[in-house]
Amino acid sequence: MTAPRLPRHLGEIAVPCEPLPATTTMLEVEAILRAEPLSPGVIIQTESGYRLVSRNRLDREGSGPLGFGRALTARRTAAELVQPESLSIPADTAVDIAAEAALARPVEQRDEPVLVGWPDGRLGIAPVLDLLAAMAGRYARLSRTDALTGLSNRTVVQAEGQRRLDAGELAGVLHLGLDRFQDANDVLGHHGADVLLHRVAAALRETCGPANLAARLDGDQFLVLLAELPPGQTPQSVGRRVAAGIRGPHRIDGLPISVEVSIGACPADHHDVTVLQRRAAAAMRRAKNERTGVVEWTPGLDRTQRVDLRQLTELRTGLRNGHLRLHYQPLHDANTRVIHGVEALVRWQHPQRGLLPPGVFLPDAERSDVILELTDWVLAEALHQAARWHADGHHLPVSVNLPPAYLAQERAVPTILTLLDLERLRPSLLTVEITETAVLTNPDQVAAQLAELRLRGVRVAIDDFGTGYTSLGLLPRLPIDELKIDRSFVVQMHDSPAHATIIDSVIAIAKALNMTVVAEGVEDEPTAADLAKAGVDLLQGYHLNRPAPPEALTLDALVAA
């Protein structure tokens, strides 16, 4: 059942009234108020403006001293009894501000109603009791809700979660954290970021339905109490549906903004809701670190997360002991399917845990200076492999991802150019891939560094385009050769018209700016064919090739530059 909407502005509780002329007698005023028992008074138009005659004032004047007041005042005009000045407040004033103004009057006037004026010239009267009740109701509701989104707040979800758990009405908990939300603040500004949070909250409320309670904790963090699970589903599968429901795109200041989210899911298998929330939060952090979207809590997850510092130390040691490997994923011409280049992707051959994908260790590395040493190694190894292919007659371009921290160094460009010189490799055989986050960190500095690399012949690509918050206005300022459409759009292009539209828009923008378009995440032939028809230049994905060591690539299929 939906709670009744509480008034926010004074005009919502005011009673509209037609002003009476100053010559109206008190007898006539009494007759009007008898005919309209809900009216708190009348408005009189005097030479000095509009004034109020309230029921309270009329009763006081009518009783008079010794009970003769009514006989003395009955034939007097209303203008003779009005206050020298009535409190007049615009209709669009917030109820709490209007209540403060009413209470600031002298004690003898505090029970008098308030004169209300609308922009179109209409007038009305707001009873003080109604005004105070509205303010109290709003404050009571604000104590239970998040002021920005209107969702329940942390206090309510804690109490309601425990009540539902004790009553056997809680099936699970989801903890949501928006990915790269700081980028939204940087690009959209605080107002735009607040609008985005409001849109996400609305989508979350609609996706979850009335039976499940959605709340905003703080910042970009949300919580959902699941009342029940659909047959055959788990909190994790519900979390995936929620992630799809809030993804968007949401139009903010004319820009379509898609939202990626990391979700921790936890079944209601403990008697304390605080423990369930803590487990869901731990699973959400794991989802963020590994960039896996939705993670369901398991008993060993907390213990695994506590060894991050140990893993970072092991990574530093493994880097220096030669335990890292590069796998290469080809990029194919969309029409001929000939291999046009490869992207270098790092793996960690851990002595005990086996071959680890980048999602396991890169998030930790990016939060420390290890990422600088690791990127140096990836660049050196990738360029050395490109030089070996070149010596064998295969002029195969190679792409390397550069994290934001690496581009923030003044030595980034000299290091890259030095490595190219050492390998005697043409700069055009290297493409550096940057994320939208790297661009936003310092657009002017990044643009200058990329311009220098491009001047030397190195190609530049924006990776995962569409998942961040890059302003389209930045694209013409940046020396970009390629736009890589993120896989999250590609895998949904047949299920979501909005995602297909975004892909078409990106292609149109890239073509207008003479950029090559690469589509990531191509997992089936219909998708590959439709992307080629839409105008994508290069395709990359498991349908064509999985990342593999250099010796596993079929060199005969490589295109010669």
**Residues 32-88: tens digit of each pLDDT:** 888 887 777 888 888 878 888 877 777 766 554 434 445 545 567 777 766 666 788
pLDDT higher than threshold 70 for residue 138: no
Give the confidence band of 389 by pLDDT, cuts at 50, 70, 90.
very high
Cβ atoms of 474 and 441 within 8 Å: the answer is: no
Between strands 213-218 and 221-226, the pairing is: antiparallel
CA distance 436 to 485: 12
Over 313-355, what HEC string results?
Answer: HHHHHHHHCCCEEEEEEEEEECCCCCEEEEEEEEEEEECCCEE
Most confident of 142-151, 285-294, 425-434, 470-479: 425-434
CA distance 406 to 284: 27
The pLDDT of residue 84 is 60
- CA distances from residue 160 to 29, 82, 93, 153, 215 in whole angstroms, order as listed: 52, 51, 33, 11, 11
Give Cα 416 to chain centroid, integer Å.
35
Q: Exposed e or buried b for every residue in 72-86, given b needs 16+ CB within 10 A? A: ebeeebbbebbeeeb
The pLDDT of residue 30 is 81
Give the confidence band of 308 by pLDDT, cuts at 50, 70, 90.
low
The pLDDT of residue 6 is 60
pLDDT higher than threshold 90 for residue 331: yes
How many Cα atoms within 13 Å fall on the side-chain side of residue 170? 27
How many Cα atoms within 13 Å fall on the side-chain side of residue 212? 23
CA distance 62 to 44: 18
CA distance 172 to 227: 7
The pLDDT of residue 446 is 79
pTM for the model stands at 0.50
pLDDT higher than threshold 80 for residue 554: no
CA distance 437 to 441: 6
Tell me the sheet residues that pair with 346.
326
Give the confidence band of 1 by pLDDT, cuts at 50, 70, 90.
very low
pLDDT higher than threshold 70 for residue 5: no
Give the confidence band of 473 by pLDDT, cuts at 50, 70, 90.
low
* Residues near 393 by beta carbon (within 8 Å), at least 6 away in sequence: 560
CA distance 471 to 451: 19
Q: Is the Cα torsion angle 533, 333, 436, 442 positive or negative in sign?
A: negative
The pLDDT of residue 449 is 87
Q: Is 402 helix (H, G, I), strand (E, B) or coil?
A: coil
In the chain, pLDDT over 90 holds for what percent of residues? 26
The pLDDT of residue 101 is 78
Burial of 506 (0-12, 13-18, 19+ CB in 10 A): buried
Give the confidence band of 377 by pLDDT, cuts at 50, 70, 90.
very high
pLDDT higher than threshold 70 for residue 349: yes
CA distance 538 to 444: 29
**Residue 219 φ then ψ, to 5°:** 55, -125
pLDDT higher than threshold 80 for residue 216: yes
pLDDT higher than threshold 90 for residue 380: yes
CA distance 252 to 505: 16
Angle subtended at Cα 342 by Cα 558 and Cα 518, rounded to the nearest 5 degrees: 110
The pLDDT of residue 67 is 40
Please state the rounded mean pLDDT for residues 475-497.
82
